[in-house]
Amino acid sequence: MQIKNLMLILTLAFQPFSPAAFFDRPSISSSQNDLMEETRTLALQAKEYRVLLRRQEDIVQKLSDSITHRQKEREQCEQLTAALVMRSAPFLQSLQRENDVFMQAKVEQDLLDITNCRQKADFEKRSIILMEISVQKAESEIEKLSTMLDEISTKMEEINTKLALPEVVEGGAADPEKGVASSDRTPFTGGPSGGVSFGMACPADESYRVDGSGEWVLPADGWISAGTWSYPDGSMHLGMDLGLDMYTPLAAPLNGLVLYADAPVDSDGGYPGNWSGWPYGGGNTLLLLCKYEDEVYAISFFHLSNRLSVRSGQSVKASDRIALSGNSGNTTGPHTHIEVFRITSSFEEAREYFARTSDFSFGCGWDSARTCSSLACRIRPESVFDF
């Protein structure tokens, strides 16, 4: 049974665009705000429907597994019944010739086993029929939920058309207001705000030490709402979207160094076309430079809440809390967009490059999947995280 994958309506691809496109964006009117509010409401409805959809799919799977098991049990009973009937036939013939007490007891036992087996086979048959009815009901609910999700998706597309939001184009150039010029200007310039967030952060200085981790840690226990490289409709998606409830704790996947930690916007202010944060559309963002044994990886997190637990220049250990998930920037619902780069140069070269450029892509750009630069290669997060 194929269920149409509708995760696209829950999250949008995070793809930065050019600074010119950002500054040319029209101002938001009150009518546009109403449409954006409707979009957020639709996204919440879609999330509820998706939860119900997954529940019904789980029911179908469990029932299907049980039906398969019971069918095997029934077949075994029928096979055993046939074997007992064949074995009892000569005993009955012998019993007719001789009044053998042993033969009589054996025949009686076989007849009892045959009766029990037939009853069990009938019970399994009735159970299978009831389960198949339940499967049909669950599949009907899945079809209804899928239809409702399709309607929401269509309505959201209509809203986005009315909003006339700018098209995402190639970008990724560093904004000088978000980074620093070189590694000789590396003091931490951000600071705690209300005890729960940090302002603009700068790349780290030289006072750090990172030992390689022995295993990858899953940032949070969520679900993949959109996979890497493409959405189901074929549009490009450069990372993995991890579906999470608001304010879910996120853990550092490996031992590493915080290169960037910025929480400039509200935790739950995301909407389609909201290009806040750096890179554009990321909302509240984090970037870690990590070590796995002798290998180096850069791991970025987008659309976070403004409750960051770390700041630039800080060393972290695998499993340390780094932030709480959110719904900021270019998004239609709570989730965390994660990108992973395998650094092909050295840890220090990658750190120095980011200090000079604030480039989250490490030279790989934003317009193509599976890209490599002289420093790094963009890889699928699914290939390193155990789901």
pLDDT in tens, 2-11: 333 333 333 3
pLDDT band at 307 (very low <50, low <70, confident <90, very high): very high
pLDDT score, position 126:
85
User: Is the pLDDT assigned to residue 306 strictly greater than 70?
Assistant: yes
Report the CATH superfamily, name and number, of domain 19-163.
Helix Hairpins (1.10.287.620)
Percent of the chain at pLDDT > 90 equals 27
CA distance 193 to 166: 32
For 17-57, write each residue's pLDDT tens digit: 333 333 233 334 455 566 666 766 776 777 677 778 778 88
- Do 261 and 304 meet the contact criterion of CB atoms below 8 Å apart? no
**What type of residue is 303?**
H
pLDDT score, position 308:
94
Q: What is the mean pLDDT of residues 361-374?
A: 88
Q: Of 344, 249, 347, which is closest to residue 289 (Cα–Cα)?
A: 347
CA distance 261 to 273: 22
Q: Which residues pair with 336 in a beta bridge?
A: 242
pLDDT score, position 9:
33
Neighbours of 85 (CB within 10 A): 12
CA distance 202 to 349: 17
Q: 192-383 in CATH: which number?
A: 2.70.70.10
**Rounded to 5, what percent of the chain is helix, strand, coil?**
40, 20, 40
Q: What is the mean pLDDT of residues 331-336?
A: 89
Q: What is the DSSP string of 269-314?
A: --BTT---BTTTT-BEEEEEEEEETTEEEEEEEEEEEEEES--TT-
pLDDT band at 80 (very low <50, low <70, confident <90, very high): confident
Q: What is the mean pLDDT of residues 117-139?
A: 84
* DSSP letter assigned to residue 186: -
CA distance 60 to 205: 54
User: Is the pLDDT assigned to residue 156 strictly greater than 60?
Assistant: yes
Half-sphere exposure of 94 (CA within 13 A, CB side): 13
Q: What's the distance, Cα to Cα, between the start and end of the chain in Å?
A: 22
Q: What residue ranges of the chain are covered by domains with CATH 2.70.70.10?
A: 192-383
pTM recorded for the entire structure: 0.53
* Alpha-helix runs per DSSP H in the chain: 19-23, 30-97, 101-163, 347-357
For 183-232, write each residue's pLDDT tens digit: 333 222 222 222 233 333 334 444 456 676 678 999 998 888 888 888 76
Q: What is the mean pLDDT of residues 94-114?
A: 67
pLDDT score, position 191:
25
Whether residue 279 has a cis bond before it, omega within 30° of 0: yes
Could you identify the residue written with the tokens 């509820």?
A: 48
Residues in the chain: 387
Q: How would you class 76 by CB atoms within 10 Å of its CB: exposed for 0-12, middle for 13-18, buried for 19 or more?
A: middle
CA distance 351 to 248: 28
pLDDT score, position 321:
94
- Do 63 and 131 meet the contact criterion of CB atoms below 8 Å apart? yes
3-state secondary structure of 6: coil
Q: Alpha-carbon dihedral of residues 240, 242, 243, 247, nearest 10 degrees?
A: -140
Q: What residue ranges of the chain are covered by domains with CATH 1.10.287.620?
A: 19-163
Name the token pair of 110.
Answer: 């076989």
Nearby residues of 96 by Cβ (< 8 Å), 6 or more positions away:
none
